[in-house]
């Protein structure tokens, strides 16, 4: 009897686990269970729509899904349609690969005002995630404040100032494209508590900000050091990357504010202290900071920016899953290097937290596969058969990988000129295409 393995979540970590198991010499039956009809997690719904090359990694996932041992069960919510305990009773091993879909909070007064939208929701909206299609952000504002100094913050800033021509070849949804083009946005503020040396942008993304059609980067050159200070501890590789970022920021410094109609302002040493306004956001109060022992410390000097849209991009957390040992303070699963219980494993962001690139999830998958094969000598549970029976009993509509390929072809055929696809943005629309509604 093959070892039956259920992988919950079809993002990179789920697919890399499936790949490692399928390539092992042991006979395994591998089922990837995904809440949404569409697979690939943040490759589809997180990675910026104008970075299509990055999304190409999903072609490798198509190959994994096509293997005999692997089956995809889309539109099945673990924790909703069936519980983790149900799944553990059905499968020899269960791997949790559900990511970290919730935003970290800023923890400042006014954060719940209408007009503060976390990056998970905002990115999900422009990427056509079914949970966020109704977000309807108010883009009728000259200034937007993006809080955070990582790649997610820079993705958001870039998309808000690109032209229709620049965005059209991406897979941003038509709704989001039209809303951004109709917006009154002229100035995007990227606000970071610490300095240029600490910023976590990768250099390719940062350089892109200097090459936009109608938007010019703005930074006060006086705050950019010549190089990363010698006494800052980091690997040689990190030091080189950060020095490169400083070079890029230095190139931005002389550019004139009126060179182009829009601006992205890199404002470092600025910590958000309060979101201002009534029910709706009217501004943000910031405090200037200095970095002491790597930490941002307030200087007592404050300033305000008028805006009706504040987009915190300050990291993600998971909300957990009933039955999964969970550290609520950190928003990650509790595990011993991935082992979370008898026959229970975690991989990817739910295991490590939201860090690294897509490829960082691969060793997680390989490690989980190794652990499963060490822990379980032979299969003894029914796996797939029991899962299908349980879903049929609840009247659920499973979306298979072939169904997904049908949706994929439909989206590609519906693309505006030059774009890779026009996404189906609701579960009903996806099921409608499959079932001919
Ligand atoms: C905005 C953004 C942009 C990024 N851009 C890049 C980039 O350009 N390059 C790069 O290398 N990395 C990028 N990353 C990082 C990369 O996306 C992550 O490293 C990776 O997606 C994490 O993989 P994961 O499998 O842990 O989680 P996810 O990709 O989040 O996958 C989790 C999956 O589990 C599913 N799921 C959740 N709950 C359930 C449930 N209860 N039942 C069933 N299924 C469930 C979800 O629907 C999802 O499909 C980006 C991340 C973000 C947030």
* Percentage of residues in the chain having pLDDT higher than 70: 100
Residue 97: phi and psi, rounded to 5, are -135, 50
Q: Is the CB of 407 under 6 A from ligand 1?
A: no
How many angstroms separate the CA atoms of 228 and 251, rounded? 16
How many angstroms separate the CA atoms of 348 and 357, rounded? 10
Contact 43, 60 (CB under 8 A): no
| Domain residue limits, the chain | 3-101+318-435, 104-315
Q: Is the CB of 110 under 6 A from ligand 1?
A: no
* Bridge partners of residue 27, in order along the sequence: none
Q: Is the CB of 6 under 6 A from ligand 1?
A: no
Query: What atom in ligand 1 is closest to the CA of residue 9?
Result: 34
Q: Is the CB of 34 under 6 A from ligand 1?
A: yes
The CATH topology of domain 3-101+318-435 is Rossmann fold (3.40.50)
- Please give the full DSSP string across 129-173, using - where no structure is assigned: -GGGTT-------SEEEEE-SSHHHHHHHHHHH--HHHHTTS---
Q: Which of 51, 65, 98, 151 to mutate to test the pocket of ligand 1 (most atoms within 8 A of CB)?
A: 98
The pLDDT tens digits for 235-257 are 999 899 999 999 999 999 999 99
Q: Which of 18, 39, 41 to mutate to test the pocket of ligand 1 (most atoms within 8 A of CB)?
A: 41
Closest residue CA from atom 18 of ligand 1: 358
The pLDDT tens digits for 90-129 are 999 999 999 999 999 999 999 999 999 999 999 999 999 9
Confidence of residue 437 (pLDDT cuts 50, 70, 90): low
The pLDDT tens digits for 301-352 are 999 999 999 999 999 999 999 999 999 999 999 999 999 999 999 999 999 9
The pLDDT tens digits for 122-180 are 999 999 999 999 999 999 999 999 999 999 999 999 999 999 999 999 999 999 999 99
How many angstroms separate the CA atoms of 104 and 129, rounded? 19
Domain 104-315, CATH among 3.30.910.20, 3.40.710.10, 1.10.1130.10, 3.50.50.60: 3.50.50.60
Nearest CA-CA partner of 288 in 272, 264, 274, 266: 272
pTM above the 0.85 mark? yes
The dihedral over CA atoms of 183, 186, 192, 198, expressed in degrees to the nearest 10, equals 110
């Amino acid at each position: 009897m093959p070892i039956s393995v259920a992988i919950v979540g079809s993002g990179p970590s789920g697919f890399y686990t499936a790949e490692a198991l399928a390539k092992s010499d042991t006979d395994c039956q591998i089922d990837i269970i995904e809440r949404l009809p569409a697979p690939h997690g943040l490759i589809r719904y997180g990675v910026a729509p104008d970075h299509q090359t990055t999304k190409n990694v999903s072609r490798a996932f198509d190959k994994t899904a096509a293997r005999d041992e692997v089956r995809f069960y889309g539109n099945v919510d673990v924790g909703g349609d069936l519980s983790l305990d149900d799944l553990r009773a059905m499968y020899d091993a269960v791997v949790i690969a559900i990511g970290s879909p919730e935003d970290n909070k800023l923890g400042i007064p006014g954060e719940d005002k209408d007009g503060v939208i976390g990056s998970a929701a905002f990115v999900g909206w422009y990427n056509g995630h079914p949970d966020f299609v109704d977000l309807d952000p108010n883009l009728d504002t000259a200034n937007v404040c993006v809080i955070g100094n990582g790649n997610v913050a820079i993705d958001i800033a870039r998309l808000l100032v690109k032209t229709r021509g620049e965005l059209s070849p991406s897979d941003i949804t038509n709704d989001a494209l039209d809303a951004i083009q109709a917006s009154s946005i002229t100035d995007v503020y990227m606000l970071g508590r610490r300095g240029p040396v600490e910023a976590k942008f990768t250099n390719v993304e940062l350089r892109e900000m200097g090459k936009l059609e109608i938007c010019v980067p703005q930074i006060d050159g006086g705050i950019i050091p010549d190089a990363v200070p010698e006494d800052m501890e980091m690997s040689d590789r990190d030091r080189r990357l950060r020095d490169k970022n400083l070079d890029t920021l230095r190139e931005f410094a002389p550019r004139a504010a009126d060179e182009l109609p829009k601006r992205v302002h890199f404002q470092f040493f600025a910590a958000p202290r309060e979101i201002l306004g009534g029910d709706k956001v009217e501004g943000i109060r910031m405090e200037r900071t200095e970095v002491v022992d790597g930490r941002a410390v307030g200087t007592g000097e404050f300033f305000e920016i008028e805006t009706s849209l504040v987009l915190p991009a300050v990291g993600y957390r998971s909300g957990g899953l009933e039955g999964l040992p969970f550290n609520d303070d950190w928003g990650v699963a509790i595990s011993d290097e991935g082992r979370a219980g008898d026959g229970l494993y975690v991989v990817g962001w739910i295991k490590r937290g939201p860090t690294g690139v897509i490829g960082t999830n691969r060793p997680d998958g390989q490690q989980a596969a190794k652990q499963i094969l060490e822990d379980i000598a032979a299969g003894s549970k029914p796996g797939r058969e029991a899962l299908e029976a349980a879903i049929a009993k609840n009247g659920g509509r499973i979306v298979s990988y072939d169904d997904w390929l049908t949706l994929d072809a439909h989206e590609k055929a519906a693309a505006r000129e030059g774009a890779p696809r026009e996404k189906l943005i609701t579960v009903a629309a996806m099921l409608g295409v499959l079932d001919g509604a």
